[in-house]
Amino acid sequence: MYPGQSLLSLKYKWVRVVLYIFIFFISLFILYIYTFFITPSKDYAIQKNANSVLFLYPPFLTNFNRSSAQNIKTSFENINYNVNFSSYNLNSSASWNNYSFVILEIPKYFKNKNSLLTIYLNSLKNTQVPVSVIVEGNKDIFFETYIKKLLTGKGSMDVFFYYTFEQEDPLKLVLIDHKNYLKTVDTTNITRLNQIVEQINAYYKKNNTLPRNFNGLNVSSSILDNVYTHKPFEYTIRADIYYKLCTDFFYNFKEEGDQYKNYTHNEGYGCYYNNIQQNEFPQNQISIIENIRNTENNNLTGKINTYYNKNFKIPKTLDILQTYYPGTSILDPQTNKEYNYATINDTDYTLCKDSAGNDCVNLRAINNANVISKNTLENTSFESWSNYLGLNVISGWNVSNTNTGIVEKSQNEKTENDMYSLEISGKGYANSNYFEVTPNTKYKLTANVKTESTCNSCGYLGIQIFNSTHTNISKLERSCGYYSSDKDIVYSYINPSLISGVYNEYSMVCTLPKDATFVKVFIGTIDGIGTKWYFDNLKFYIP
């Protein structure tokens, strides 16, 4: 070297080459430190399901390339698996937990670099999904122990090892083993649910009611969680003695044979219904859903009747019942959609056994509390209505308008025990509540009637006839009298010329059909002039 000559100006080529190589590797090292130690991990979260896989490969110096990635992807897709690829550092455990399981590829040059693996795989300690490790080379117990300790430090569920030099197709084995693993997960969850069912049934036998939640059950808290997701099992009371248990499932048992015939769940979120009369779990879902539907249809009919009694009309939709009566089940247990329901008028409606509109029946709302449990209506002199004097709503009866009400009789007509009568004018009417009758039997309806009207045949006595489902069958029994499609009754006219000015008894006779179960009695007028009519001492009896 000559005085004043710098190193960079040396003409010796090999010196410059060494210097450039040194600078290059220093730059690579700085870039490596920034990329893999300073840059934070990224999360590419997906919805967790049984067919999602995260494949982790080393961040550098790997023979993992696009060709091998495509081969792996194709292998997974052939069995309906979705696979995402990522370098070790690009996903954190927060996103790994969104996958069904993680496959970790460890090439042979990593096997003796434990400190480097610790840096890259440290966040795997927080994963809650199984990890399948594919190691390039032969089985190595010491390396395997180290990786297990690393991965299970804070919670990785299970770690499985596969070796490329000993197994012809480790990926295929990964998938087979994982399917078996998911089957074990589901059978374990079913076992836990069985234990919960036993405790629910025991609670019911002791308290004669279903528990509101799991707090009152004599069972370990660890049993109350899904073994795979660690989320609590969901419990919902349904229709008296029935309840529902829900969780995430990961294996389809439909091709497993008769021993799993009641395992009807698919992969994903699912529910099983159960009742306290059987300890078996899961029960046959077809029969139990049918039983729930029958019970809930009966409950809905009762709630509709109660609503009708308080509001004088039926609800327009079933969700209105949930507002009035919280906890009312209005959803088909199989489809989770509302039972098929439609109103016909203020009293009649159609209710179907399911949400699809199968097994529908037409029903009429009644107030069961006001069904008279006797088969005659004896001497209704309206004395019990005296407290309602001047009011339009009469206890036990429905009135049509303000032209119907209770009035006190004239001085020369009333007695100590008979002081009131029912006054109707215009086109008013009144009808009784339902009361039970004996089918295939002759009945007689009588009433004392008075009017000053000269309208010919403007008053009437009538009945509505109902079968056991409260379907009106009056129009089929016209032998009892005339039929009015307006009020859907059979009736007989009252002729004013026969009763003018004084009370006279009027009657009609009807032999009820074999399907008759309930009857409503009607009295009213069709007098357009507005003349007053008076009714008293009403009877409906077997002569």
Residue 50: per-residue pLDDT? 55
Residue 482 has pLDDT above 50, yes or no: yes
- Residue-wise pLDDT for 193-215, tens only, equals 989 998 998 898 888 888 989 98
Residue 235: per-residue pLDDT? 93
The candidate with the shortest Cα–Cα distance to 318, out of 308, 333, 310, 329, is 329
Encode burial over 393-421: b for 16+ CB neighbours within 10 A, e otherwise. Answer: ebeebebbeebbbbeebeeeeeeeebebb
Nearest-5° Cα angle at 376, 375 to 378: 155
Q: 475 and 483 in contact (C-beta within 8 Å)?
A: yes
Cα–Cα distance for residue pair 70/61, rounded to 1 Å: 19
Cα–Cα distance for residue pair 421/414, rounded to 1 Å: 9
Residue 47 has pLDDT above 50, yes or no: no
Domain boundaries 377-541, CATH class = mainly beta
- Residue-wise pLDDT for 70-89, tens only, equals 777 777 777 677 787 777 65
30's CB contacts (< 8 A; 6+ apart) are: none
179: alpha, beta or left, given left = phi > 0 and alpha = psi -120 to 50? alpha
Residue 38: per-residue pLDDT? 42
The candidate with the shortest Cα–Cα distance to 372, out of 521, 536, 510, is 521
Cα–Cα distance for residue pair 402/406, rounded to 1 Å: 11
The candidate with the shortest Cα–Cα distance to 105, out of 138, 132, 76, is 132
Residue 166: per-residue pLDDT? 59
Nearest-5° Cα angle at 88, 84 to 92: 80
Q: For 52-167, CATH number?
A: 3.40.50.360
Q: How far is CA 117 from the centre of its chain?
A: 49
The candidate with the shortest Cα–Cα distance to 133, out of 55, 207, 71, is 55
- Residue-wise pLDDT for 340-372, tens only, equals 999 998 888 999 999 999 989 888 886 544 443
314's CB contacts (< 8 A; 6+ apart) are: 304, 307, 308, 343, 346, 347, 348, 349, 365
Residues 414-431, mean pLDDT to the nearest whole number: 76
